[in-house]
Amino acid sequence: MFPSLLVANRGEIARRVMCTARRMGLRTIAVYSDADAQAWHVAEADEAVHIGGAAAKDSYLRIDAIIDAAKRTGAAAIHPGYGFLSERAEFAEACAEAGIVFVGPPAGAIRAMGLKDAAKDIAEKAGVPVVPGYRGDDQSPERLRAEADRVGYPVLIKAVAGGGGKGMRRVESDAEFIKALEGAKREAAASFGDDRVLIEKYVARPRHIEIQIFCDAHGNGIHMFERDCSLQRRHQKVIEEAPAPGMPPAMREAMGAAAVKAALAIGYRGAGTVEFIVDSSRGLRPDGFWFMEMNTRLQVEHPVTEAITGLDLVETQLRIADGAKLAPQSSVRMTGHAVEARLYAEDPAKNFLPSIGTLRRLALPPENGLRVDTGVREGDAVTMFYDPMIAKVIAHGKTRDEAALALARAMERIETVGVKTNAAFVARCLRQPEFLSGDIDTGFIDRHIATLAPKPARPSGEVYALGALAALLHGAQRSGLADSGPWAIDDGFRIGGGGFDTVDFADGDTVLEVRIERIAAGFAVTAGDERFAATAQLEGRRLKAAIDGRSIDAWYEVTPAAVTLAMGAETTTLVLHDPFDIEDAGSDTAAAITAPMPGKIIQVLAEPGQSVKRGAALAVLEAMKMEHTIVAPADRKVAEVLVKAGDQVTEGATLLRFAES
């Protein structure tokens, strides 16, 4: 076995690969950008090398910098992780030229499967079924539109060099085609440097089922069963599981054989995933699946395969790269069921808009019976430069229900402050009756979005009561006074007289007064029209309380401006009313449109003097590798446009202003 390994990646996957490498006795080498100088994967490596600026193009996508780092540290092998350079044939070639082992397939295999149209041709020639569509060289809008008409709507426009849902659009009718095509091409060019697309028939009730395969350098190929990755938002996976629910043995055998056949047809070596689209409208059948693409790397969701097989897929990769032969197919066994959830920094209630900021609080579930893969710690930042995934949480059980419900409970216990997350959303998915019954497809989230990602509701009176208690007790703690609280807090408190204190919160345009009376049994708290009997005390950063006999344990944070409570996956920030704030709270908040996050303006669709309808697209912002369309909040007239295509903007930057109503 080679003695040292450089991991050409960051975060969670870098830590995951290095964990196995250390267990196998290898010296581990990390690389890092300006943004990752203090990152966890850097701290854990035996050696680390700085490779450039914060943006991926200036660091993790620089083949020259990574090869130079490997040479300087004497790295015998390079593992690419996933994303970044993991599917770049030029990187595999650069490793070979430098005499460094590339832990991945040969450059020729990466090229063969790197373009979706060519990959489908290869699969078809190998006897693997493919989805009807158009994969031709003529990329004119007229030809692509004509092919979409021929295939029949709905269709998918997909980037030829794509992955991760980027450069992909579902189109329902001819009238939508050109606009969708422009968006797909623009996103594909930005993500992959290649704006070519293909057209595919959109399969009814589609399920995304993929096969984990391995091939060695001796002509052997095996599969490690399937994973179901059907629960997706914006064409990106959220929940993955193995095995696929309802999978008949005959179909598993047919899909596994087809996947291995496709891999061996290109002289594959190492770990790979062959992805199929499955028509679930008639149930799972051996004649109802079609080749979609092959990912020539380890997948984000590989832990569920490890859970059901008991195998370490990274170790298998490393041993194949060192020349070992694969064990026979019969040696791979499956036990139980595993489900994985991706914890993202995003706001499901705002169409999964990515969220950035410092993780002032991050409490992931304890690992008793669970596996948690993460690359960040409390105090780290989620930045605009990289994917917003915080962690992966994996549960394994004897049955699917056991694994799914254990994972739901784990997601409900996650505490995060500083960014929005999808933890509560994922827990709702896992508990949704259709999910538990196995009635899933790629449209599951869209069908249930109102239930899974409800619009934020006004905090309850109970939450306001807890916030007031936290603020009062925190003030008393800071001041060192056992029986008084308001003196140490800058805003929001009044002495009421008669033995009670008052905390004032800004509730929209109004002020909500919460009155706290000290009584023998604790506190009597009045929030608006609601009255509660409460006990409460602070233990470190936790509020231990009981409201009308119901016990509550919350992480809290009090600042002069707000009280934040993290109660499991639900985090609430209550704004303290500042009586000296003279800003007109009732001012028209729709007088201007601001950027929801830092990013690059890709397209401006509004002009000064233009009248726009509610929901009309005003601009397209690219941030965190995805495009986000900014729309009009109401019927308005545009007075001024302050940005142009290509501009980099900060969060909160004004993009345009409306004329006065």
Q: What is the total residue count of the chain? A: 661
List, for the chain, all residue ranges whose pLDDT scores fall below the cut of 50: 482-493, 495, 497, 582-588
Q: Is 333 exposed, middle or buried (0-12, 13-18, 19+ CB in 10 A)?
A: exposed
What whole-number distance in Å separates Cα of residue 187 and Cα of residue 602? Answer: 9
Instruction: Kindly give the pairing relationship between strand 522-527 and strand 155-163.
Output: unpaired
Write the CATH number of the domain with boundaries 589-658: 2.40.50.100
Under DSSP, is residue 529 helix (H, G, I), strand (E, B) or coil? Answer: coil
Q: Tell me which DSSP letter residue 193 carries.
A: S
228 φ, ψ to 5°? Answer: -100, 120
Q: How many C-beta neighbours within 10 Å does residue 451 have?
A: 10
Report the DSSP beta bridge partners of residue 206.
279
What whole-number distance in Å separates Cα of residue 77 and Cα of residue 317? Answer: 12
What whole-number distance in Å separates Cα of residue 411 and Cα of residue 568? Answer: 8
What is the topology classification, in CATH, of domain 132-201? Dna Ligase; domain 1 (3.30.1490)
pLDDT in the model for residue 651: 76
Under DSSP, is residue 261 helix (H, G, I), strand (E, B) or coil? Answer: helix
Report the DSSP beta bridge partners of residue 641.
656
pLDDT in the model for residue 625: 60
CB-CB contact of 374 with 414 (8 Å):
no
pLDDT in the model for residue 584: 36
State whether the Cα torsion 166-172-176-177 is positive or negative.
Answer: positive
Cα 10 → chain centroid:
15
Helix (H) or strand (E) holding 531: strand 530-539
Query: What are the tens digits of pLDDT across the range 532-575?
Result: 999 999 999 999 999 999 999 999 999 989 999 999 999 999 99
Report the DSSP beta bridge partners of residue 530.
527
Query: What are the tens digits of pLDDT across the range 377-426?
Result: 999 999 888 989 999 999 999 999 999 999 999 999 999 999 999 999 99
| Helix pair 116-125, 107-114: axis angle to 10 deg | 100
CB within 8 A of 545, min separation 6: which ones? 466, 469, 534, 535, 536, 537, 551, 552, 553, 554
CB-CB contact of 515 with 588 (8 Å):
no
CB-CB contact of 392 with 374 (8 Å):
yes
Instruction: Kindly give the pairing relationship between strand 166-171 and strand 155-163.
Output: antiparallel
What whole-number distance in Å separates Cα of residue 599 and Cα of residue 645? Answer: 11
Write the CATH number of the domain with boundaries 4-103: 3.40.50.20
Helix (H) or strand (E) holding 308: helix 302-309
What whole-number distance in Å separates Cα of residue 374 and Cα of residue 407? Answer: 16
Q: Which two tokens stand for residue 173?
A: 């009718």
What whole-number distance in Å separates Cα of residue 156 and Cα of residue 152? Answer: 10
- E strand intervals along 124-220: 133-134, 155-163, 166-171, 197-201, 206-215
What whole-number distance in Å separates Cα of residue 79 and Cα of residue 644? Answer: 40
Please give the span between the terminal C-alpha atoms of the chain, in angstroms, as a whole number. 72
- Ramachandran area for residue 22 (φ above 0: left; ψ -120 to 50: alpha; else beta): alpha
Under DSSP, is residue 424 helix (H, G, I), strand (E, B) or coil? Answer: helix
Residue with tokens 């051996």: 286
CATH class held by domain 461-575: alpha beta
Domain boundaries, the chain: 4-103, 132-201, 461-575, 589-658
| Catalytic residue list | 297
Helix (H) or strand (E) holding 408: helix 400-413
Cα 647 → chain centroid:
26
- Ramachandran area for residue 527 (φ above 0: left; ψ -120 to 50: alpha; else beta): beta
Which is nearest to 229 in space by CA: 271, 197, 276, 178? Answer: 276
Measured CA to CA in angstroms, residue 47 lies from 1, 41, 43, 176, 648 at distances of 19, 10, 9, 52, 34
What whole-number distance in Å separates Cα of residue 262 and Cα of residue 255? Answer: 11
DSSP for 442-461 reads TTHHHHHHHHHSPPPPPPPH
Measured CA to CA in angstroms, residue 263 lies from 249, 257, 296, 326 at distances of 21, 10, 10, 15
Amino acid making up residue 469: L
What whole-number distance in Å separates Cα of residue 107 and Cα of residue 118? Answer: 15
What whole-number distance in Å separates Cα of residue 526 and Cα of residue 465? Answer: 7
CB-CB contact of 407 with 339 (8 Å):
yes
Amino acid making up residue 511: V
Instruction: Kindly give the pairing relationship between strand 77-79 and strand 101-102.
Output: parallel
Q: Tell me which DSSP letter residue 27 carries.
A: E
